Chains A and B, each alone.
Chain A
Amino acid sequence: MTKSSKLNRGISRRAVLKGAAGAAGLAAGSGAITGFPYVQAADPKVLRYLGTAVNEGDEISKKCLADTGIKIEYITATTDDVTKRVITQPNSFDVLDTEYFSLKKLVPSGNIFALDAKKIKEFDNITPVFTKGQLPNGKKIGDQGTAPWKVLYLEGANSKTFSKTPTEFVTLIPTVYNADTLGIRPDLIKRPISSWTELLNPEFKGKASILNIPSIGIMDAAMVVEATGQHTYADKGNMTKAEIDLTMKIMTEAKKAGQFRAFWKDFNESGNLMASGETVIQSMWSPAVTKVRSMGIPCVFQPLKEGYRSWASGFCVSKAVSGAKLDWAYEFVNWYLSGWAGAYLNRQGYYSAVLSTAKANMTADEWGYWMEGKAAVSDIKAPDGTVLEKAGAKRDGGSYDDRMGAVACWNAVMDENDYMVRKWNEFIAA
């Protein structure tokens, strides 16, 4: 540290000290710290990037530095901690990478700054999933919950109101999104699974799990309740108090009957539960499924007939960012959408916001496997070169259109969020 702050004095000694303090604070909370401040003596273009571990690849920051000269310092936190940090310490980051559903908390706080769509080169090429709520082929997507197109625009530069019609003030420039579903162990279940109801099927008593992040877990719970036919929600992402009570009652009964083996919070936990056979069916995220599979254990990200629960994230900047730093932020976001990063994300099983530029950076075989649901012609490799799938394999759930077209709802912050969190706590305590 001594050495780096010495060399860095010309640039911004404060930034280094702040970075270190932030990192120390984070270490207590969430473990992994990636971007530790270091010296870039010739070029002082540094952006502090706050986000979850999901999008923070070392490869991306290295490539970005090589292409643009911008040094990305990652500040890694969990979804909840990212939000907390934006609210309480808006000066501790420059670029924010967060999910659309948290905007309902972040925008009213006034701590983030809307980016100008006119300065984003590829903005018009961003997939209509974000801008219109439909696939490139025109098919409409489920809009329950905090769907990105509901919170994409603000009425003015400093407005705290979401605009229903497109404006040039964009809350988050879209980057990455995916459709989530249940993960299963086909070798232990030994029969086809096709519905969310299976999560509460007594056949899997003591072998099921759900994630313990209230705003996401409640959506999985709602998918299950609706699939069992016990209630049809007007909007799963914006329940009434009575609907929250009903949902939690059904989940609590299942919990008391011993349906759940454990709940998970960190996606590594979900991988361990699945790999060790403690659970055979559970809420899961794509990278955890990949991780279990790469251990040689069969695990399927199972498409279900009721559809997927989707999430999406994007970039904005702290309100404290201005001048040259703001220009770098635009430069960085433009670089991010220019293709290389998009291809990198697509190869991890996520989806990139600008499909055309990502396609130009992938081989035809890769594009076919990840995006078109075709059988792989040769082995499919992860960005780091390890083999993910052998030639001939097909992606779970099929093509982009099949998967994103079947989205039923989006991660959400409800009007009754406060009440929901209390009820969720009761469910955990029951």
Chain B
Amino acid sequence: MMLVFALFFLLPLLFVTIVSAWDYNEYEMIPAFSLRGYTDTFEGCIVELPNLCTILKTYLKTLELCLLTWVLTLLIGFTVAYFLAFHVRSKTWQIVLTLLCTIPFWTSNVIRMIAWIPLLGRNGLVNRGLEAAGLIKQPLEWLLFSEFSVVLALVHLFTFFMVVPIFNSMIRIDKRLIEAAYDAGATGWQTLVNIIIPLAKPGIVIGSIFVITIVMGDFVTVGVMGGQQIASAGKIIEARLNALQFPAPRPMRSSCSASRS
């Protein structure tokens, strides 16, 4: 076990750290000690204080997106899992409904982008509908290519990662505990807070790890739904790799893989 951990986690992490201290030019990495990857990445971070430099601002933005997505997926995921575990009685229906939750995974990112434009776009269904209902006079621009649309797409995609582990924990809860709580006079809320949530905690933790690690590293959804105008840590890494600056993203990448562990 220890060997596997060392071979597949510690060793790669060590390589990443070593390469991060290499020099580089347009077409190759130079195995000479240089902290350029770090100084370039965190350029201006000290000089510009108290204003935040690009990289810190980007991380803050990424964390903000992450937090919003986590809260929403948790609320929605928990509710869906609760419904599946306690309100749907038949096993068959539980399976059918869980499978239905996988629908967002049937589409590719490009399809999703094309699909959102007619819905959220300037001339999209939502804007047309609101205008027809007389609620707005000008189309709402923030519906698409904004933080709103990024979080919406992330929640749409990743709620499932919350649903499955939480559902898995919930169906293992002994139903007699709930009956006992009911018999002892607990209200629905008390049962939820004192019995179901504590027992569903492992599922909540696993689901949270899935969602947070995926969102922290995401650059495709942020790019597509943010109209390439919103930066995330993953996007900066992508842009620098595309410019063949291989060592430069390493400082960021090691912090990402550390957050993934």
Contact = CB atoms under 8 A, between A and B. Distances in A.
The answer to whether A binds B is yes
A262 B229 contact: yes
A424 B243 CA distance: 11
A305 interface: no
B89 to A, nearest CB: 42
Contact of B141 (A87, A108, A206, A268): A206
Interface string A63-82: 00000000000000000110
B202 interface: no
A429 B228 contact: no
Interface in A247-274: 255, 260-266, 268-269, 272
A108 B121 contact: no
A87 B54 contact: no
B228 A418 contact: no
A428 B227 contact: no
Interface residues of A, number: 39
Contact of B231 (A272, A421, A428): A428
A260 B231 contact: no
B240 interface: yes
A132 interface: no
B58 interface: yes
B228 A263 contact: yes
B40 interface: yes
Contact of B227 (A105, A261, A430): A261
B110 interface: yes
Contacts of B242: 80-81, 84
Interface string B7-48: 000000000000000000011100000000000100100000
Contacts of A105: 26-27, 244
Q: Which of B28, B244, B245 has the most CB of A within 10 A?
A: B244
B122 A277 contact: yes
A422 B28 contact: no
Contact of B58 (A108, A264, A413, A429): A429
A269 B113 contact: yes
Contact of B244 (A87, A206, A262): A87
A268 B110 contact: yes
B25 to A, nearest CB: 8
B114 interface: yes
Contacts of A128: none
Interface string B91-122: 00000000000000000101001100110011
Given A105-B244, A261-B227, A428 B239 contact: yes
Contacts of A81: 242
B145 interface: yes
B27 A263 contact: no
Contact of B236 (A83, A109, A277, A425): A425
Interface residues of B, number: 37
A109 B26 CA distance: 9
A426 interface: yes
B54 A418 contact: no
Contact of B144 (A84, A278, A429): A278
Contacts of B27: 87, 105-106, 108-109
B164 to A, nearest CB: 24
B235 interface: yes
A206 B40 CA distance: 32
B221 to A, nearest CB: 14
B123 interface: yes
A212 interface: yes
Contact of B117 (A206, A265, A276, A429): A276
Contact of A276 (B118, B227, B241, B245): B118
Interface of B: 26-28, 40, 43, 54, 57-58, 61, 108, 110, 113-114, 117-118, 121-123, 141, 144-145, 223-224, 226-229, 231, 235-236, 239-245
Q: Which 5 pairs across A and B sit closest by C-beta, in order of nearness?
A: A262-B227, A429-B231, A263-B228, A80-B242, A421-B243
Interface of A: 31, 80-81, 83-84, 87, 104-106, 108-109, 206, 212, 214, 255, 260-266, 268-269, 272, 276-278, 413, 417-418, 421-422, 424-426, 428-430
Given A109-B28, A269-B113, A278-B122, 9 more contacts: A105-B244, A108-B27, A206-B141, A255-B229, A262-B229, A264-B228, A276-B118, A429-B54, A429-B61
